[in-house]
Amino acid sequence: MSRLDIHQIPVLNDNYVYLAHCPETGATAVVDPAVARPALDAARAKGWEISHILNTHHHGDHTGGNLEIKAATGCTIVGPRADAGRIPGIDVRVGDGDTYALGNAEAAVYDVPGHTRGHIAYWFRGSDALFCGDTLFAMGCGRLFEGTPAQMVASLDKFKKLPPETRVFCAHEYTQSNGRFALSVEPDNRALVQRMKDVDAARARNVPTVPSTIGIELKTNPFLRADSSDLQRTIGMSGRDYVTVFAETRRRKDSF
């Protein structure tokens, strides 16, 4: 099994597009191409030939480059079976329990509805890499545009079970604003306080804070921590059930 080389491309205001390259076969995927040109240019600079697009969900800032990249490269577009009608140029439909081979690297596919109803994630176990789109962010999670809090909790629970060293390649640089909110609901979380110092220092130098890891998210991300007594106390919901606490935390973030 091959370990992917992963190249991060910042585009638009705060999106990240990724190139994932299998060094043994040359297979190269663009993950969530918001726009085409930066991905095509980055691939050329690397000497990589784009063979695939992996989409996590239908939003334009994740699929906007699909058709132009496909026209330029003849690549295969892989996306959510549950939302195939909204993925431009889709060729291969995948969902929960499927595996998908990118060269000699293999992804387990998860259905992770909540942000959109057909959102999926790709976990490349042999590369310690999770491509989760807009489901999990560094210290945050996606807005619930098309799903319920219970659905999002079930989706995030799938990520909580991954190895802590798994790198979280989310699709936006939202970390600093997410962290400010996280501190407002868990002000005494020491791991969170320290992480925000590191994040502020990185952003002051315009350095990406992504990828994160599952391990650090478990310690600092309030949307994985609805069972935290500190968080529950701060928002006045001590002892309430997990989904209710999550929903209130998400509601507060929406207007933070």
Residues that bind Zn ion (CB under 5 A): 59, 134
Single-letter residue type at 19: L
Burial of 236 (0-12, 13-18, 19+ CB in 10 A): exposed
Binding at 248: pick from Zn ion, Fe ion, none (beta carbon under 5-8 Å per type): none
Site string for Fe ion, 133-162 (x = CB under 5 A): -x----------------------------
Q: By C-beta, is 56 or 166 nearer to Fe ion?
A: 56
CB 36 → Zn ion: shortest distance, Å?
18
For residue 162, the SS3 value is: coil
Nearer to Zn ion, 59 or 225 (CB): 59
The interface with Fe ion within residues 200-219 (CB under 5 A) comprises: none
Rounded distance, CA 90 to CA 118, Å? Answer: 14
- Residues composing the chain: 256
**Dihedrals phi, psi of 11, to nearest 5 degrees:** -135, 165
Q: Does 111 bind Fe ion (CB under 5 A)?
A: no
* Residues with active-site annotation: 57, 59, 61-62, 115, 134, 172
**Nearer of residues 11 and 22 to Zn ion, judged by Cβ:** 11
SS3 256: coil
β-bridge mates for residue 31, sequence order: 18, 54
φ, ψ of residue 135 to 5 degrees: the values are: -90, -60
Binding mask 115-134 for Fe ion (x = CB under 5 A): -------------------x
List of residues contacting Fe ion (CB under 5 A) = 61, 134
